[in-house]
Amino acid sequence: MEFNDSPEEAAWRTEVHDFLQKEFPREFRPGGPSGVRDEEASLFRGPNEGDPMKRWRTALSSRGWVAPAWPKEYGGAGLDTKKQFILNEEFAEFGAMNVGGFGVMMFGPTLIVHGTEDQKKEHLPGILDGTVQWCQGWSEPNAGSDVASVQTRAIRDGDDYVINGQKIWTTGAQLADKMYMLARTDPDAPKHRGISYFMLDMKAPGVTVRPLMTMAGSAIFNEVFFENVRVPVRNRLGEENRGWYIGTTTLDFERSSIGSAVGTRKQLESIIRFAKEHPELCPGSGKHATQVALADRWIEAMVARMMSYRVVSMQNAGLIPNHEASMCKLFTSEMAQRIAALGLKLTGMYGTVIGGSPKYAPSGRFGIGYIAAVSSTIAGGTSEIQRNIMAQRGLGLPRD
């Protein structure tokens, strides 16, 4: 593992930093005119997005940084693994959001690998220019962590498939134009072998989206119902009944956790600043206990960063992180919950106030942060799944 940048990498880091200083809209910076940092929603803003987001997308697009990992022939920047890592790290340090959402991060790269040239020409441009937003149709009520148990059916009918079933926890479905999804095309085959991968128009007849309100007051998740939805055969990605293996490609394109590791550390830094500004919240012996807890969390944040470095070092050497990525995800998500709990504990009853700007609970961020952190050990693969991967693939332990 190499911790220091080479001269070329240092120059690249400076280039990215200078770009952010110049181009990242002030409306999205802490304390900026908008006063709002809605990063989740920004992933799904489309052609009617506000002027600051348009300026940001244009600035990124001019350098191919909307999709920095994509090959140049498909509109990306063709960055190698280390340059991608440095770009992601600098963006996270600056608090800057990427654009494009699942289309850029997961579906687009999968399409580049498995799609036909006609499919690439049809779908990749809309992802890059923001005119088409994608959501992911994976989880179902009885197929969450075990995605291979999906029961949504796709039955061939001439030049179409007819899809019936339900997806759940579909992020951004109410704002998406299209969905990439898994559906079962052979109910008699072993569960991993009877699944196909489809591209579906969210405006097609028979598609119903029902938003789900989270504990944190967000409606970013949705239920999606399919009733005799017709999908052209040309919108199947890859071979029939081989969708599971294409789906694993999609999962392989999830990023290393450097962004979340840096973001979590910055969250901890804000708690430390708050504690210094309000020493009256930790009188007497409580001050020492708070200092110890903050120190423990700081050490964990540094460990999370080192784990991210391990993952990118493997990728840079041409290796494929497997249980190493699961270690990263598990540690970072559980650490995020501990940091959120510390912020709430520091503010006491004030931390449970959401809304307004009371002295010890500005904008209710500690309470909202604590509630929002609950999902971090569920989304992207539960902690139990990550531990199973680490045990089986990392330690060679049996499945049972």
The rounded Cα 145 to chain-centroid distance in angstroms is: 16
Which pLDDT score is estimated for 320?
76
Q: What Å distances lie between residue 383 and 239, 248, 301, 337, 389, CA to CA?
A: 32, 18, 18, 12, 10
To 10 degrees, the CA torsion angle through 104, 109, 112, 114? -130
With tokens 């708690």, the residue in question is 271
With tokens 């007849």, the residue in question is 205
Which pLDDT score is estimated for 254?
56
- Per residue in 11-57, pLDDT tens? 999 999 999 999 999 888 765 444 334 444 444 455 455 688 889 99
Which pLDDT score is estimated for 357?
62
Which pLDDT score is estimated for 202?
98
89 in active site? no
Sequence-ordered list of residues with C-beta below 8 angstroms from that of 6, at least 6 positions apart, any chain: none
Reduced to 3 states (helix: H, G, I; strand: E, B; else coil), residue 145 is coil
Q: Which amino acid is at 245?
A: Y
Which pLDDT score is estimated for 166?
98
The low-confidence residues of the chain, meaning pLDDT below 50, are 32-44, 47, 255-256
Q: Domain 256-394 in CATH: superfamily?
A: Butyryl-CoA Dehydrogenase, subunit A, domain 3 (1.20.140.10)
- Where do you find CATH 1.10.540 in the chain? 7-99
Which pLDDT score is estimated for 134?
96
Sign of the C-alpha dihedral computed for residues 118, 122, 123 and 127 taken in this order: positive
- Per residue in 111-166, pLDDT tens? 999 999 999 999 999 999 989 999 999 999 988 778 889 999 999 999 999 999 99
Determine contact, residues 342/297, Cβ cutoff 8 Å. yes
Q: 302, exposed or middle or buried, with CB in 10 Å at 0-12, 13-18, 19+?
A: exposed
Which pLDDT score is estimated for 361?
65
Which region holds residue 342: left if phi is over 0, alpha if psi is between -120 and 50, else beta? alpha
DSSP states along 94-105? HTPPPSSHHIII
Determine contact, residues 361/347, Cβ cutoff 8 Å. yes
Overall fold of domain 7-99: Butyryl-Coa Dehydrogenase, subunit A; domain 1 (1.10.540)
Nearest to 275 by CA among 253, 258, 295: 295
Which element (helix H / strand E) includes 343? helix 323-347
Q: Given 3-state DSSP classes, what are the helix, strand and coil percentages for the chain, each rounded to the nearest 5?
A: 50, 15, 35
The rounded Cα 119 to chain-centroid distance in angstroms is: 24
- What is the CATH number assigned to the segment(s) 134-242? 2.40.110.10
pTM exceeds 0.85: no
* Residue of 2, 39, 239, 254 with catalytic role: 254
- Where do you find CATH 2.40.110.10 in the chain? 134-242
Which pLDDT score is estimated for 330?
92
Which pLDDT score is estimated for 351?
81
Which pLDDT score is estimated for 258?
53
